[in-house]
Amino acid sequence: MSSELNHLLSLASAGKMSRRDFVGRAGALGVSTAMAGTMLSTAAFAETPVKGGVLRAGVQGGQSTDSLDPALAASDVPFMINSTWGETLVDAGLKGQVEYRVAEEISSNADATEWKFKIRKGVEYHNGATLTAEDVVATLKRHTDEKSQSGALGIVKGIKDMKAEGDMVTLTLNAANADLPFLMADYHLIIQPGGGVDNPAAGIGSGPYKITENEAGVRTAFEKHANYWDANRGFADQVEVLSINDNTARTAAIQAGQIHMMNRVDPKIVEMLAGNADVLIERAAGPGHYVFIMECNKAPYDNNDLRMALKLAVNRQEMVDKILGGMGSRGNDFPINAAYPLFDDSIPQRDYDAAAAAEAYQKSGHDGSPLILQVAPGAFPGAVEAAQLFQASANAAGIPLQVKLEPDDGYWSNVWNVAPFCASYWGGRPVQDQMYSTAYLSTADWNDTKFVDPHFDEVLIAARGELDQTKRKAMYSELALIVRDNGGLICPMFNDWVEGRRKEVGGWIANPAGSLMDGKALSMCWLNA
Amino acid sequence: MHPLIKLVVQRIALGLLLLLAVSVVIFLGVEMLPGDTAQAILGQSATPEALANLRESLGLNQSAATRYFTWLGHAVQGDLGKALTNQQDISHAIGQRLGNTLFLALCAGVIAVPLAIALGLIAARYNGRWPDKLISGVTLATISLPEFVAAYFVIFLLTQVIPILQPVSMVFPGMGFFAKLHAVALPVIVLVMVVLAHMMRMTRAAILNVMQSAYIETAELKGLSPMQVIWRHALPNAVAPIISVVVINLAYLVVGVVVVEVVFSYNALGQYLVDHVAKRDLPVVQAVGIIFAAVYIGLNILADLIGIIANPRLRHPK
């Protein structure tokens, strides 16, 4: 390794240079981005963790209506809180693999219909009880029950039978699914004593920190769980999650040192923060994306030429630049990007093409009446501005697109999944199958584009049981092309996680799977003196 | 019965009737909003089955009238019920939040009311001269700034340029009194800026109005200093309009500061109410709405009474 590279690496791991700068400068020295990332992670690990202190995260996305029941978590604050007190069977690893947590070994039968999870010995809950295989089964069962209103219902629905024997949990599936271990990383599936059946919102789990105080939508305070099993997590004595929804207040708080890390840095102020030596910006290219959805079963959007015309009329690069402030990447009208395992990067990128859009529009034979795009400010950050950019680029291609502004209040019940053409977002899923099964399978509950294609369904279900990764990749590639060229999804951009941390925070590793190191930032970071 | 006591009883009875009416209006208002609690909770992730399950478990299948009278029956016994969204006991949650709301209002009021009246007196004393113009100008400027702009301004000034205060003001049990004062310093500054002008200007106008009277001239002619004239002769006769404006502003400090609460992440009632309106959590909206209405009605009764006590003609009606 060159001495300059060494120097850069020491700067970056001491927090004096941002990850992005490091990757950029290392690139100038001929190091690939992936390699630079690995070097940096190794360097971060090489730093000696410092124990003690109080680590605070300021997080947007909390409300006084929030519950500690992991089944109900739906926004960043409960996600962060639950990931700090609880643990799942596995985590989503950084290299497209699973990382063992409560489970220490996973195996399946040859056709991926039966999965065995060996439960780690000596994992202790905050109440002193020991985590058992029975707890795991009871937890999964609770999420299977419609009454639990679990956000993971769609995941556990495919499990036909589950049983616990000794330290082994056996799950039998309705149909083959090679991705099952990844699905168990879902943040709702935190293992609770007795499955959390008696008191789902007790907040007692086996995570590195136990809750000492909890005021919903305000502040949750934790102290170190003394008997936590993993010495590589839980360095600070105490941690806190502060729910700070106002962007300016959150930013001011990190500048003033009242918090050590924050989620959702407004892309507009990233450059301004660059001048602050105490605060570093961290980016991770995740699976989250912003979308405009057309319902394929409603006129005029039941016409694929019209859908194609609209897809070609989006200026994606402009949206990435103006809506995301460059903190993201162009979408390609299917819901998958490089954050997913088995992504096919050879699929051609669709770009703005006014002439082709006009041609497709002519071909569709549309009568020229206005195409109404319904959008609310809360559909995604910058949704209204993005819709206006879309309107401008579409009008330039002769497509009569019009934006109709809707109120945030009631948007998800009155407009989304009701109106034929509207704005929305997806947070992404750990694996491709789950993303497609959630929103593009004909029978999916959230098939918000009302896309029905029997061949697509067939390939998607066959891919679940395909254990040959090359064949599987080809199948996902086919699915991507079907959605891209025939579906009702317009996906102009994938948004990066843009987050901030103070320079004294050590151990930060960008994780694209979720916000704030997939919810593990408080558990895995430490405070350098 | 002494007419004053009779008046108090009358006002309180009317106030209670008004509260009942308010509870009906709030209930109808929330009912009329598009979407229900179940949809608001599930949001983008709602499926028809999940909606049906949730509606059943929340008791949303019953008629609106049944739900209202069930609620009323429990509420008059002091049982505000549980939040539909997270099953928390409402009385407990509100108790804590109400304490925070009152703490912030009290801190702001203790500074703003005396300051506003003093500035009003000074402005009246130097009517039309530079102290008057300076005070009027500055207070008008602060009231004209939207609250969140004023808030961002003080955040920038006092946490970034001169880092002596903290931008996030949340308070929690276990914090010492002075730690709490330090935490709420920024919102208090903003609220004082917002309410100062109204009270100051009313004080000034009421005093100047009285200053036209003949007896003020007499007081001046017998050789009292201008400040003595204002303090001894003008202020007691101007107290009724000043009190009513002070009370309106105090009520505002309790019920109307949600924007300031949000900007400073201060965990008080306003933020709590807004979160639950967004989720159509009717029991909480009802409870908080009733508390806010009670504060407004109570303070207005108080203002009336003080006005009557301060005015002999009203105190002894013929």
* Per-residue H/E/C for chain B: CCHHHHHHHHHHHHHHHHHHHHHHHHHHHHHHCCCCHHHHHHHHHCCHHHHHHHHHHHCCCCCHHHHHHHHHHHHHCCCCCECCCCCCEHHHHHHHHHHHHHHHHHHHHHHHHHHHHHHHHHHHHCCCCHHHHHHHHHHHHHHHCCHHHHHHHHHHHHHHHCCCCCCCCCCCCCCCHHHHHHHHHHHHHHHHHHHHHHHHHHHHHHHHHHHCCHHHHHHHHCCCCHHHHHHHHHHHHHHHHHHHHHHHHHHHHHHCCHHHHHHCCCCCHHHHHHHHHHCCCHHHHHHHHHHHHHHHHHHHHHHHHHHHHHCHHHHCCC
Give the tokens for residue A255.
Answer: 């500048």
Q: Name residues whose C-beta falls within 8 Å of residue A117's C-beta, 6 or more positions apart in sequence.
A: A89, A103, A105, A106, A136, A168, A169, A170, A171, A184
Q: A203-212 b/e with 16+ CB inside 10 Å = b?
A: bbbbbbbbbe
> SS3 breakdown of chain A: % helix, strand, coil, rounded to 5?
35, 20, 45
pLDDT for residue A409: 75
Most B-contacting residue of A67, A186, A243, A246 (CB-CB within 10 A), to test interface: A246
Q: Which amino acid is at A474?
A: A
B230: which 2 tokens?
A: 């204002």
Which of A219, A221, A248 lies at the smallest CB-CB distance from B152?
A: A248
Binning pLDDT at 50, 70 and 90, where does residue B98 land? very high
* Nearest in space to B291 (alpha carbons), one of B247, B251, B260, B257: B251
Q: How remote is the C-alpha of A484 from its chain's centroid?
A: 21
Cα atoms in the 13 Å half-sphere on the side-chain side of A308 = 18
Question: Which of A63, A245, A249 shows the shortest C-beta gap to B155?
Answer: A249
Tokens 């009278």 map to which residue?
B69
Neighbours of A48 (CB within 10 A): 10
Nearest to B34 among A244, A259, A413 (CB): A413
* b/e per residue A470-502 (b: at least 16 CB within 10 A): eebbbbbbebbbbbbeebbbbbbbbbbbbbbbb
Under 8 Å CB-to-CB from B198, ≥6 apart: which residues?
Answer: B116, B143, B245, B248, B249
* Contact B172/A at CB under 8 A: yes
The two tokens of residue A356 are: 């082709």
CB atoms A217 and B275 under 8 Å: yes
Mean pLDDT of chain A: 89
Contact A413 B96 (CB under 8 A): no
**Residue B304: its pLDDT value, please?**
84
Chain A segment 429-458 residues within 8 A of B by beta carbon are 445-446
**CB spacing of A424 vs B264 below 8 angstroms:** no
Token pair 């088995």: residue? A342
Task: For chain A, say whether B174 makes contact (Cβ under 8 Å).
Answer: yes
**Residue A246, pLDDT score:** 85
| CB neighbour burial string for B113-152, b if at least 16 within 10 angstroms, e if fewer | bebbbebbbbbbbeeeeeebeebbeebeebbeeebeebbb
Contacts of B54 in chain A (CB under 8 A): 149
**A497-502/A489-495 β-pairing:** unpaired
Handedness of CA A166, A168, A171, A172 (dihedral sign): negative
Q: What is the pLDDT of residue A388?
A: 96
The 3-class secondary structure across B172-206, one letter per residue, is CCCCCHHHHHHHHHHHHHHHHHHHHHHHHHHHHHH
pLDDT at A492 over 80: yes
For chain B, the first-to-last Cα distance in angstroms comes to 15
Residues of B within 8 A of A412 (CB-CB) are 39, 43-44, 46
Q: Which residue, chain included where needed, has tokens 């993971």?
A: A152
Decide if B107 contacts B181 (C-beta within 8 A). Answer: yes
Q: How many CB pairs (< 8 A) connect A and B?
A: 126
Condensed to tens digits (0 to 9), the pLDDT of residues B159-178 reads 989 989 999 999 988 889 99
Is the Cβ pair A242, B170 closer than 8 Å? yes
**A74 lies within 8 A of chain B by CB:** yes
With CB atoms and an 8 Å threshold, state whether B87 touches A67.
yes
Residues of B in Cβ contact (< 8 Å) with A66: 86
Which of the two residues, A412 and A355, has the higher pLDDT score? A355
- Please write the tens of the pLDDT for every residue from B44-87: 666 677 778 778 777 777 888 888 888 888 888 878 888 877 77
What the block records as the tokens of B176 is: 């010492």
What type of residue is B104? L
Contact map slice: B 257-286 vs A, CB within 8 A: 262-265, 267, 271-272, 275-276, 278-279, 281
Contact B160 A219 (CB under 8 A): no
Which of A57-66, A346-355, B9-18, B37-46 has the weakest average pLDDT? B37-46
Q: Length of chain B, please? A: 318
User: A1: pLDDT confidence band, cut at 50, 70 and 90?
Assistant: very low
Phi, psi (degrees; rounded to nearest 5) at B268: -120, -170
With a cut of 60, say whether residue B250 has pLDDT above it. yes
Interface of B with A in 105-144 (CB under 8 A): none
The mean pLDDT value of chain B amounts to 87
Task: List the single best residue of A60, A63, A65, A199 to mutate versus B (max B Cβ within 10 A).
Answer: A65
d(C-alpha B98, C-alpha B96), whole Å: 6
Q: Which residues contact A167 (CB under 8 A, 6 or more apart)?
A: A118, A119, A121, A132, A133
Nearest chain A CA: its distance from B43 CA (Å): 6
Estimate to the nearest angstrom the gap between the alpha carbon of B10 and the chain centroid: 24
- How many Å separate Cα A407 from the centre of its chain? 26
Average pLDDT value for residue range A396-408: 93
What's the angle, vertex CA A358, arms to CA A353 and CA A363, rounded to 5?
Answer: 125
Rg of chain A on CA atoms, in Å: 23
Torsion angle of alpha carbons A181, A183, A186, A192, nearest 10°? -60
Q: Which residues of chain A have a CB within 8 Å of the CB of B275?
A: 63-65, 217
Chain A residues with beta carbon closer than 8 angstroms to that of B96:
215
Nearest CB partner across the interface for A249, out of B57, B86, B264: B264
* Contact by Cβ (8 Å): A119, A136: yes
Buried/exposed code over B170-179 (b: 16+ C-beta within 10 A; e: otherwise): bbbeeeeeee
Q: What is the mean pLDDT of residues A101-130?
A: 95
Which of B43, B159, B276 is the closest to A252 by Cβ? B159
What angle do helix axes B177-211 and B90-125 make, rounded to 10 degrees? 40
- Note whether A58 contacts B: Cβ–Cβ < 8 A: yes
Q: Tokens in use for B198?
A: 């109204």
Given a contact cutoff of 8 angstroms between Cβ atoms, the answer to whether A396 and A354 are in contact is yes
Residues A265-301: pLDDT tens digits?
988 788 888 888 899 999 988 899 999 999 999 989 9
The candidate with the shortest Cα–Cα distance to A208, out of A334, A42, A82, A100, is: A82
Q: Which of residues 248-267 of A touch B (CB under 8 A)?
A: 248-250, 252-253, 255-256, 258-259
Residues 6+ apart with CB under 8 A from A159: A140, A144, A171, A172, A173, A174
Strands A238-243 and A54-59: parallel
- Length of chain A equals 529
Report d(CA A65, CA A519) in Å as an integer. Answer: 20
Task: Give the pair of three-digit tokens for residue A174.
Answer: 């309705």
- Of all helices (H) and strands (E), which one includes residue A118? strand A114-119
pLDDT at B122: 93
Q: How far apart are CA A443 and CA A438, in angstroms?
A: 9
Alpha-carbon gap: B257 to the closest alpha carbon of chain A (Å): 15
With a CB cutoff of 8 Å and minimum separation 6, the contacts of A35 are: A26
pLDDT digits (tens, 9 = 90+) for A83-115: 999 999 999 888 778 899 999 999 999 889 999
β-bridge mates for residue B285, sequence order: none
Residue A33 confidence class, pLDDT cut points 50, 70, 90: low
Percent of chain B with pLDDT over 90: 39
Smallest CA–CA separation between A474 and chain B, in Å? 30
Q: Name A392's Cβ contacts closer than 8 Å, sequence gap at least 6.
A: none
Residue A472 one-letter amino acid? R
Q: Which of A28-32, A319-323, B274-278 is predicted least confidently?
A: A28-32
Q: Is A67's CB within 8 Å of B93's CB? A: no
Residue in the block written with tokens 């789902």? A200
Between CA A257 and CA B157 the distance in angstroms is 16
- Which residues on A lie below 8 Å from B88 (Cβ)? 216
Give A-chain residues touching B170 at CB under 8 angstroms: 218-219, 242
- Record the tokens describing residue A373, joined without a space: 């795009």
CB A12 within 8 A of CB A43: yes
